[in-house]
Structure 1
Amino acid sequence: MFTIPGPGKYVREVELLNEIGAYIQGFGNSALMIGGQTALSKVQSVITASLEKQGIENKGFTWYGGECSWAKVEELRAIVQEKKPEVLVAVGGGKAIDTVKAVAFAENLPLVAVPTIAATCAPATPIAIMYDDEGTFIEISHRSKAPNVVLVDTKIIREAPYRFLVAGIGDTLAKWFESSVSVKKSQPTALNQSAVRLAEGLYQMLLEKGPSAIETIKQGKIDAAVNDVIDSIILISGSVSGYGGDDCRTAAAHAIYSGLTIFPEVHDTYHGEIVAFGILSQLVLEGKSEEEIRELISFYQKVELPYTLEDMAITELSAEEWERLGTVTVGIEDMDNMPFAVTPEMVVHAIQGADAIGKKVKQL
């Protein structure tokens, strides 16, 4: 039995980045920061000052390339090999951090993750979600390093648009809906059963604290509810995957997310927002009642998650596009985690069914 339950250490504090140099110092005497352009601009001055304070050589701040693709990974590897840092620091959102996780794995370097938004569990997992250079999903890769340390500066999270936290809630909700079905294909173990119970607890906690956390973050504030939601999105959600391993992986909701990324119009919709719609579609696929789906939509309304295709800028699809969507989606490996065989026609029916229920709710 082998599992990587999560990062080596997780720290969450206000203005934590003032101390990042001390954390990096435990792994090496030089660091290269790689991340998103906006994210790097937000943290460059404070990280620079902290590195100077600790006497750590600053190897610079490098843009990750804009997409988590193998081409970008190879470009960054060349930069790493030229600059020769002893530590890599991943800064930004899920795609940026996943890209650097793949680079750290390939170069066998210590990794410090600095999420500047709480939108996915990427900072706390050993896997990387890979796309092509145009942003279409291609694979879940295990050629990725779990960060040695995750540093969550809640001042930075608070200053980000609140919609990122909304997306994080959507992505984290999926842990329960997907792990509870994917685990059905496996023999019960202490690990996978604990993972599912943890996922259910996450779901209940988000139902309870999610709306309050969104209202608080909108006001530019941090309170206990916000902290709980941040920890749930980044760390605890990642722990579900860590404990459950391949028994508790993503399923139809993420497969539908990946299928929908073939349409360029959804690329302005965040990962967790699309996944949230994928959850509704998965519930239709499972034959859940309209009443149960409407109940979840009522929560979506409270936290501003999308629940129709139009919410994600998809206004009309041709018959050929529907056919392509169904075919692509069943080819995504996440769909193999469903406890029954899924056809392209079933996917199309599920997505159209979820959209129809969402539209009816909007008319009320």
Structure 2
Amino acid sequence: MKIVSGHGNYIRGQGLIGQIGEYVGAFGKKACLFGGKTALSLTSDPISQDLLQQGIELLPPIWYGGECSERNINNLKSQVEEFQPEVLLVAGGGKAIDTVKVLGYLMKLPVIAIPTIASTCAAATCISILYDDKGEYLEISRRSKAPDLILVDTQIILEAPVRYLTSGIGDTLAKWFESKASNQKAQPNAFNNGAVVLARFVYELLLKEGKRAAESIHQRVISRELEDVIDAIIAVSGSISNYGGDDCRTAAAHAVYSGLTIFPEVHEVYHGEIVAFGILTQLALEGRPDEEILEVIAYYQQVNLPKTLGEMGIDSSLISEEQWQTLGSVTVEIEDMANMPFEVTPQMVIDGIHRADQLGRTAV
């Protein structure tokens, strides 16, 4: 039996937040709205007003808790169970959306995702990334559901800091490098091979249009390139994950991301920024020539993605030998690393990070 999960309808346009009631009403007449603090400050009033006009009952907006953690998920469940909602709405970034995807799974309710930043593909995938309450990675949870509807208000994405978009570019670039690595261990089929081909297309699109999309944010102009990159980060990237599944979802780049979360300094660095550095480390692990890694670094310089540990706030000179060994050990234990087509040891991770960091520091 072959089961492939996928997201519901994807709708992108300007001003969608103020027209949300017509979409929500198709799922029920009692709704809960969750999200990040910034996202709720931007969206809760227009969403609440429109839902009330459509006759949809809504609890006051609820902050998701700051981390996609079991404690926060259970807390949200206890807050809304008595209300007996018929549909869950979530506005924000990846962690907020992942949190409510797990909540929707537990409560067996439809989920409408309203990404307010184009930084990950969380709004379009059927998995959630769980952390502890301090923000350290724990696991990929499959007790999660793909959103039944994704609503992207381009105007809100446009008004967000450009750093969120570039972080999304970093996370989405990894789809190509990781899918082609992990798929080497899989039995070829239409879905995983198709996912790799799609990942290559997205990679080439980002190389071509990423810089212009970032410039569009600076200029406050909704360009074709910006729309393409938004769609690629949120929906197309999510489809790659859904089609490829465990055969070609993540590999060393995301394992390095998760390993680096042992350093508190990176908790202020965005997911896709750390993943971008993880890509450089994965290329080093694969023994790619310096020229190939430097080509990727040159693109990072165009869109302002981190290419060194220092650019993520980590002073490598202050890392003790014990911390290096912990980093290596933690990273190889992350399930993403098992998707690499060869065994990776802690020392290989340490050496790969050193090499990536050195190349990043020498790039001009």
Counterpart position of 2:346: 344
- Following superposition, the deviation at residue 287 of structure 1 comes to 0.2
Q: Distance in 2 between matches of 1:83 and 1:40?
A: 20
Q: Distance in 2 between matches of 1:212 and 1:239?
A: 24
Counterpart position of 1:288: 288
- Following superposition, the deviation at residue 7 of structure 1 comes to 1.2
Counterpart position of 2:361: 359
Counterpart position of 2:91: 91
- Following superposition, the deviation at residue 5 of structure 1 comes to 3.9
Note the aligned Cα RMSD (angstroms).
0.8
Q: Distance in 1 between matches of 2:135 and 2:191?
A: 33
Counterpart position of 1:32: 32
Q: Distance in 2 between matches of 1:70 and 1:218?
A: 37
Which of these residues, 322, 325, 347, is aligned with residue 323 of structure 1?
325
Q: Distance in 2 between matches of 1:161 and 1:6?
A: 29
Q: TM-score, normalised by structure 2?
A: 0.98
Q: Distance in 1 between matches of 2:111 and 2:313?
A: 36
Aligned AA (2:332):
V
Q: In structure 1, the residue corresponding to 2:20 is in which secondary structure?
A: helix
- Following superposition, the deviation at residue 2 of structure 1 comes to 3.4
CA offsets, 1:167-205, max 9 Å, x none? 000000000000000000011101110000000000000
Runs of 4+ residues over 2 Å off in structure 1: 1-6
CA offsets, 1:48-106, max 9 Å, x none? 12102211111220000010001111111101212221110011000000000000100
Alignment of 1:1-364 (within 5 A): 1-316=1-316, 317-361=319-363, 364=364
CA offsets, 1:288-313, max 9 Å, x none? 00000000100000000000000000
Q: Distance in 2 between matches of 1:163 and 1:78?
A: 35
Q: Distance in 1 between matches of 2:52 and 2:75?
A: 27
Aligned AA (1:244):
G
Aligned AA (2:59):
K
Q: Distance in 1 between matches of 2:46 and 2:179?
A: 39
Aligned AA (1:333):
E
Aligned AA (1:319):
E
Q: Distance in 1 between matches of 2:102 and 2:4?
A: 15
- Following superposition, the deviation at residue 32 of structure 1 comes to 0.4
Task: Check conservation: 2:92, 2:114, Cα contact below 8 A.
Answer: yes
Aligned pair count reads: 362
- Following superposition, the deviation at residue 6 of structure 1 comes to 2.3
Q: Distance in 1 between matches of 2:45 and 2:269?
A: 30
Q: Distance in 2 between matches of 1:236 and 1:77?
A: 30
Q: Distance in 2 between matches of 1:277 and 1:38?
A: 27
Q: In structure 2, the residue corresponding to 1:60 is in which secondary structure?
A: coil
Q: Which moved more, 1:49-58 or 1:172-181?
A: 49-58
Task: Check conservation: 1:3, 1:245, Cα contact below 8 A.
Answer: no
Q: TM-score, normalised by structure 1?
A: 0.98
Q: Distance in 2 between matches of 1:229 and 1:2?
A: 31
Aligned AA (1:68):
C
Q: Distance in 2 between matches of 1:201 and 1:133?
A: 37
Q: Distance in 2 between matches of 1:3 and 1:154?
A: 32
Unaligned runs of 5+ in 1: none
Aligned AA (2:191):
L
Unaligned runs of 5+ in 2: none
Aligned AA (1:25):
G
Aligned AA (2:106):
A
